[in-house]
Amino acid sequence: MSIKTIKWVENHARIIDQTKLPGRLEYIDCRDVETMWQAIKRLSVRGAPAIGVAAAFGVLLGIQKFKGQDKAKFLELFNKTCDYLSTSRPTAVNLFNMLNEMRAMVRSNPQADVANLKKLLYKQAMLIFKTDRDVCRRMGDHGAKLIKNGMRCLTVCNAGALATVDYGTALGVFYSAKKQGKKFSAYSCETRPLLQGARLTCWELLRQKIDTTLICDNMAASLMAKKHVDIIFTGADRIASNGDTANKIGTYMLAVLAKHHGVPFYIVAPRSTFDLKIKSGRQIPIEERKGEEVTHFAGVSIAPKGVKVYNPAFDVTPADLITGIVTEYGIIHPPYVKNISVILSAAKDLNEFIPTR
Amino acid sequence: MSIKTIKWVENHARIIDQTKLPGRLEYIDCRDVETMWQAIKRLSVRGAPAIGVAAAFGVLLGIQKFKGQDKAKFLELFNKTCDYLSTSRPTAVNLFNMLNEMRAMVRSNPQADVANLKKLLYKQAMLIFKTDRDVCRRMGDHGAKLIKNGMRCLTVCNAGALATVDYGTALGVFYSAKKQGKKFSAYSCETRPLLQGARLTCWELLRQKIDTTLICDNMAASLMAKKHVDIIFTGADRIASNGDTANKIGTYMLAVLAKHHGVPFYIVAPRSTFDLKIKSGRQIPIEERKGEEVTHFAGVSIAPKGVKVYNPAFDVTPADLITGIVTEYGIIHPPYVKNISVILSAAKDLNEFIPTR
């Protein structure tokens, strides 16, 4: 039942086409960087960590057809490829962070020739891929400590295997808790407009035999008022150095409701989702997507022609509404301004996470 | 551009089939009580005040084919018809209140024969119809005082002409403000699962040339955080004597968010929506509807087969989150336990509201 959201197969990337789920489990073989760019843009592959891996694989696709030994030309193509991939989506910082990891590999090997650089970049992309697998399992194990028997856990959007290589951030916590034999149930907010909760999270959780109930986003408040929600876990697209967190639209709503009802609210995200260059959530660019995502479903119009639409894909949850941030190093608690830098600076290098298995 | 949600045409009721909007403006001619029951059940006619009128017209449909002079048999049919209509939907109290008005007409005329009772019930139903038209305009005028130039007003579900005979409760406030020449704009929450906000409210507001922006329900919090919402108006399905208010699912969410962001939150509802027999919102029965409303759209499945669904049609907003309740008598403010009874007892009889025009 394992889910392979993205992997490298011989000389190309294979991704699950998430726009087809839950109806059909189909794959897209990305053999050039343009196909990968489109796949990211139209959300065939989505979820901050998965986008990071997709970007690294996109770089491999962009450079692998380069012939010859002209290093200047190679570097020109490499940089153009990175710049191009960075235009696919604006909010999830994993995209930029992983492109930076690829750039750093080139920068730190100034003597390498073209053939060598290709090998080094391949190695780096595979490290990024393997790191995601390892890091998600570590986060899951840390987060699972928060789940007690009988708990009802709420989540939004999809922060699962489909948002990462194969395990998940918020849903990784569920999977680890399940492995540990804990009994709990899940509420999945459907997550309008693109219904990643209904389509993807419910699909994943049912495959893993987790007791799951689907709700519309506007029902979460009512559930909390009835004390049917014990804890909330969500993923993240970008976390500022003060702990402010951008995630799927509706996350901030849940955080405010959680505060009002006294429900613990946790973010689950790896180091690659932190953007320590920015001080607060105000500096996070929020992607606005086209109105048709809201006004149409499966080609059918659900709103009168000509109505204006506001369709931000993300919102920002201020740090003071976040109970804790589950990372691969453990759970970071407030004060975030101090604790994020203390914990993340303890491990500066991706190489620390090479999976040993 | 006027909207005739429900009216009596010769010897039957004609309603707009709201399940077809905004795509098509179609009418259903209800010539028997079963057709009206179905129309209420499947939301062809919906909105608490409109359901109240529909129930009164349903009674007329149920009794009009009665032949003969046997009063006992007539009363049996009348009572059976009222009981039947009261099973159509459980939450909106207007349904029960208007059936009670019809019953009261019979009770207060013990000497009347069958022909007379038929006439009296017709007169009562027409009074209920006309009262709705008048009362909505009065509420609109009271509520419009709250709207200042430049305000951005948020609403949920449809509390408009389509929820009443032809004017609306919350949207009646917008229409009165517009008539008064005020400049303002509206945000309409789409209102999952059945999208009454996207389908009905946007359709109405665009027809009335009100500047309208559609959002998904989970975007309201983000709008409020950006200070893009100045005031919230919603309708109601039942208001307890302490001010606790049942309304479309998602209303309670908005009320909590409004409190967090300091946004005034108003309910707009006529006397017929109050249930003074109950002390608090805990006594309001909340309709749960079938999961397919959430898992399917236009016949297309948007969730994996077999997932559990929680689909309450309403939630209850505690009185302490409500800034004021706009009624036909003016705006009721806290303390509600006292002020609701003071204001409503000042006018005990529907007849006080016979429109004079």
pLDDT at B1: 62
Work out the minimum CA distance from A238 to partner chain B, whole angstroms: 16
- Answer yes or no: do B218 and A22 touch at CB < 8 A: no
3-state secondary structure of A13: strand
Gap from A304 CA to chain B (nearest CA, Å): 6
For A95-125, write each residue's pLDDT tens digit: 999 999 999 999 999 999 999 999 999 999 9
Residues with Cβ < 8 Å from A227, sequence gap 6 or more?
Answer: A261
Q: Is the predicted pLDDT of residue A350 greater than 70, yes or no?
A: no
Give the ranges where A86-209 is alpha helix by DSSP (H): 93-107, 114-144, 170-179, 196, 202-207
Residues A29-52 pLDDT 10s: 999 999 999 999 999 999 999 999
Asked whether the predicted pLDDT for residue A322 surpasses 90, the reply is: yes
Q: Is A353's pLDDT higher than 50? A: no
DSSP A205-236: HHHTT--EEEE-GGGHHHHHHTT---EEEE--
Per-residue pLDDT, averaged over A58-69, amounts to: 96
H-run or E-run covering B309: strand B308-309
Of the pLDDT bands very low, low, confident and very high (cuts 50, 70, 90), residue A355 is very low
- Mean pLDDT for back-to-back runs of 10 residues, chain B (357 residues): 92 97 97 98 97 98 96 98 97 96 97 97 97 97 98 98 98 98 98 98 97 98 98 98 98 98 98 96 97 93 96 98 97 97 74 41
- Predicted TM-score (pTM) of the model is 0.96
Distance of residue A85 Cα from the nearest chain B Cα, in angstroms = 28
| Token pair recorded at residue A3 | 């889910």
pLDDT at residue number B350: 46
- The pLDDT assigned to A349 comes to 53
Q: How many residues does chain A have?
A: 357
Contact B295 A213 (CB under 8 A): no
Question: What percentage of chain A reaches a pLDDT higher than 70?
Answer: 97
What tokens appear for B265 in the block?
A: 């939150």
Q: Considering A132, A141, A230, A237, which one is annotated as catalytic?
A: A237
Mean pLDDT, range A77-81, rounded to an integer: 98
DSSP string, B231-261: EEEE--SEEETTS-EEEETTHHHHHHHHHHH
A350: left (phi over 0), alpha (psi -120 to 50) or beta: alpha
Active site includes A320? no
Asked if the Cβ–Cβ distance from A218 to B309 is below 8 Å, we say no
Pair B205, B230: CB distance under 8 Å? no
